[in-house]
Amino acid sequence: MSGSNSSLEFLFAGIIQAVDLIVRMDPYVASVTKVQLMVSGVAVILSAITAIALASAISFSEFRGKELLRTAINTSMGLPPVAVGLVVFLFLTRRGPIGFLDLIYTPAAMIIAQYILATPIITGVSITAIESIPRKVWDTAYTLGGTKLDVSLQVLKEARLGIITAILAGFGRAIAEVGAILTVGGNIVHQLYLGGVLQDVSYTRTLTTAITVETRQGNIPEAIAFGIILLILSFFVNFIAMWVRKRSVG
Amino acid sequence: MTGDRDIENMKGIMRKDMREIFLKSVLLGTILMVILGAGCIGKESTESTASGVTNPPVQNEPAHVQDEPIKVQEKLRMATTTSTYDSGLLDVLNPVFQQKCNCIVEVIPKGTGAAIQTAKDGDADLIFVHARGKEDAFVNEGYGVNRRDVMYNDFVILGPESDPAKIRGMTSAAEAFRNIAAAGMAGNATFFSRGDNSGTHTKEKAIWDATGIVPSGTWYNSVGKGMGDTLTAANEKLGYTLADRGTYIKWKSKEGFELQLLVEGPVKGGDPILKNPYGIIAVNPEKYPDVNYKLAMEYIEFVTSKDGQELIKNYRVNGEQLFFPDAK
């Protein structure tokens, strides 16, 4: 309680230094941001491809166990990231079933973990989007002589805004997640000479994992900088999602 | 008749509703009671601490005051390194001290750098760490008082059995690091650093300084986390790393741990640069009047006393002594 003045100063000083780190594109901060975007971006692109295929298969066809599959997908939408991290770790560790691939503590391992986390969300939300397309769209496409594939493509086209929202939701989850990538990525930075200066350059350290380690080590400006970038990213994602939703309504 | 059935159905639904409402209110009641109970206990303890200072003893109930004084257990916040915590030493020392002082020792395990930062922020009463340079700076900057030596152990260099850098049995840590760097540049070896400003990381940097090499390249991996995380990473990638002997002894019998001790520290006759002294420092009460200075000093007295030093000396993990008392 000793002096709220000094604690405010501490906070402001941290924020000012953080903004400075971002504005002058500090190589460490930039590399961490790059790894985050690369890992979450690739994971979500792969997830989206799988999810759209899966959502189409479920929405456009009847088969045994369909309801069970839907329930499984809905349940996995809320998988705890740390648990996913542990399972991926157990598979990738040197003693694990695919340990020989030597993927543990690489960006590839992080992509796998985030792929598993994002796919159910994108699938689940996409199914809802597809099934909310009015029946008459399906029927019209069919009566116009479309094959099953034509009908499906037409419906998917109508549902595109919902599917984009689904992908954004998956991306939002991926960039906010820390438990899985911390376990399988290892939070590693390399020391490299960049332009003659020794620099920490992220290998598997992301915005979220960096915030945890920088805070614990008392590097508050760095932690705040990563926090700001992460907030801007989620804001951006939500902004697009809102814009898409507005368009789909209007 | 259908009407009757409807009414029966409705009764059934209502009964179900009632049951639900009943269950919900029971649940809500329980939660409320827990919250209120916790509130009362909290209030009670603040009142009783305050009563010693401000309120005179209540005249009406002297019996109560004398027979059962409500004793609030004081709390000592100790910021310490992961090595003292993970090794299990504090699980031996703290219960004995807690019995003595009738207090609670709250341990905040972090790397040495972070532990010192915690104390600098006024969030600890005491630090128990291992990085002499940083400890001296902590005292010189006025944050700490009464630094005492407690004990020492040492660091060892671990690596894979194949030992691509050929450092096994070397007597110079700097020489070994030089070989690792050369093998790393050639793409045959990797090194895993704590990279977290901990005591171990500080020692690692001191050894690199002694080699005259600045480690750089993709072979040099900085983990930014604790000893356990770093050992896990080095073991997964079969790389080299610097570890404190205590953590190594605990880890070497773990299932699947394949790293081997390749370069010894001074405890087993190795390079003196690998010595790892532990110090304990009370946080300066002039800097932070809220800290529990009295209890911090009692703890320092305890670990540097004959009893405390004996406990440290006799502490064994897997039959090996982890720490060597050297309080003066």
User: pLDDT digit string (tens) for B159-183?
Assistant: 999 999 999 999 999 999 999 999 9
A189 with B229: Cβ contact below 8 A: no
Q: Are residues B144 and B161 in the same domain?
A: no
CB of A108 within 8 Å of a chain B CB? The answer is no
Among the three residues B240, B257, B274, which one is the final residue of a domain in this structure? B274
The dihedral of CA B281, B283, B284, B287: what is its sign? positive
SS3 of residue B295 by DSSP: helix
Over residues A189-200, the pLDDT tens digits come to: 999 998 888 899
Tell me the chain B residues in contact with residue A192 when contact means C-beta distances shorter than 8 Å. Answer: 216-218
Do B248 and B293 fall into the same domain?
no
The pLDDT score that the predictor gives to residue B262 is 98
Chain A contact for B214 (CB, 8 A cutoff): yes
User: Do B93 and B229 fall into the same domain?
Assistant: no
Is the domain of B159 the same as that of B245? yes
- In this structure, the answer to whether residues B315 and B172 fall within a common structural domain is no
Cα–Cα distance between A62 and A43 in angstroms, integer?
29
- Can you tell me the distance from the alpha carbon of B85 to that of B116, in angstroms, rounded to the nearest whole number? 15
Q: How many domains does chain B have?
A: 2
Sorted by sequence, the CB contacts under 8 Å of residue B316 that are 6+ apart come out as B322
Residues 6+ apart with CB under 8 A from B328: B148, B149
Going by their DSSP bridges, the two strands B320-321 and B260-263 should be labelled as: unpaired
> Which residues from chain A sit within 8 angstroms of residue B238, using beta carbons?
94
In a domain, B308, yes or no: yes
> pLDDT value at position A194?
85
Render pLDDT for A105-150 as a digit per residue (tens, 0 to 9): 999 999 999 999 999 999 999 999 999 999 888 888 888 888 888 8
d(CA B184, CA B179): 8
The verdict on a CB contact (< 8 Å) between A192 and B218 is yes
Rounded to whole angstroms, the Cα distance separating A234 from A240 reads: 10
Looking at the structure, tell me whether residues B299 and B231 fall in a common domain. Answer: no
Does one domain contain both B146 and B281? yes
Q: Regarding beta strands B324-325 and B144-159, do their DSSP bridges make them parallel or antiparallel, or are they unpaired?
A: antiparallel
Report the amino acid identity of residue B174: A
Asked whether residue B136 falls in the same domain as residue B179, the answer is: no
What's the pLDDT at B15? 58
Is the ipTM higher than 0.90? The answer is no
pLDDT band at B20 (very low <50, low <70, confident <90, very high): low
Above 70 in pLDDT, residue B29? Answer: no
HEC sequence for A154-217: HHHHHCHHHHHHHHHHHHHHHHHCCHHHHHHHCCCEEEEEECCEEEEEECCCCHHHHHHHHHHC
Which phi and psi angles does B187 have, rounded to 5°? 85, 15
Does some domain include residue B200? yes
Q: Taking a C-beta distance cutoff of 8 angstroms, is the pair A185, A110 a contact?
A: yes
Q: Which of A94, A102, A116, A232 is nearest to A180 (CA)?
A: A116
Candidates A213, A215, A220, A222: best to mutate against B (most CBs of B within 10 A) is A213
Q: Is the pLDDT of residue B208 over 60?
A: yes
Residue A191's φ and ψ, nearest 5 degrees, are -95, 120
Cβ-Cβ contacts under 8 Å, B229 against chain A = 186-187
| Whether B110 and A216 lie within 8 Å, measured CB to CB | yes
Give the confidence band of B84 by pLDDT, cuts at 50, 70, 90: confident
- Interface contact flag, A191 B216, Cβ < 8 Å: yes
Q: Is residue B177 domain-shared with residue B253, that is, in the same domain?
A: yes
Quote the pLDDT of residue B60: 46
Q: Where are the alpha helices (DSSP H) in B54-88?
A: 62-67, 82-86
Which residue type is seen at A42? V
Question: Are the beta carbons of A213 and B237 separated by less than 8 Å?
Answer: no
Radius of gyration of chain A (CA): 22
For a pLDDT cut of 70, what percent of chain B falls above it?
78
Residue B58 pLDDT: 43
The answer to whether A202 contacts chain B (CB < 8 Å) is no
Per-residue pLDDT tens listing for chain A (250 residues): 444 556 788 888 899 999 999 999 999 999 999 999 999 999 999 999 999 999 999 999 888 999 999 999 999 999 999 999 999 999 999 989 999 999 999 999 999 999 999 999 999 999 999 999 998 888 888 888 888 888 899 999 999 999 999 999 999 999 999 999 999 999 999 999 988 888 999 999 999 999 998 988 878 899 999 999 999 999 999 999 889 888 876 5
Whether the CB-CB separation of A209 and A105 falls below 8 Å is answered with no
Nearest CA in chain A to B120: A218
CATH number of the domain that residue B113 is part of: 3.40.190.10
Q: Please tell me whether residues B142 and B282 are part of one structural domain.
A: yes
Range of the structural domain that residue B108 is part of = 74-153+277-325
How confident is the model over B61-65, as a mean pLDDT? Answer: 45
Q: Quick check: is B299 in a domain? A: yes
Domains and CATH numbers, chain A: 27-249 (1.10.3720.10)
Which one of B237, B255, B259 would you mutate to disrupt binding with A, by most A Cβ within 10 Å of its Cβ? B237
- Does A200 reach chain B within 8 Å, measured CB to CB? yes
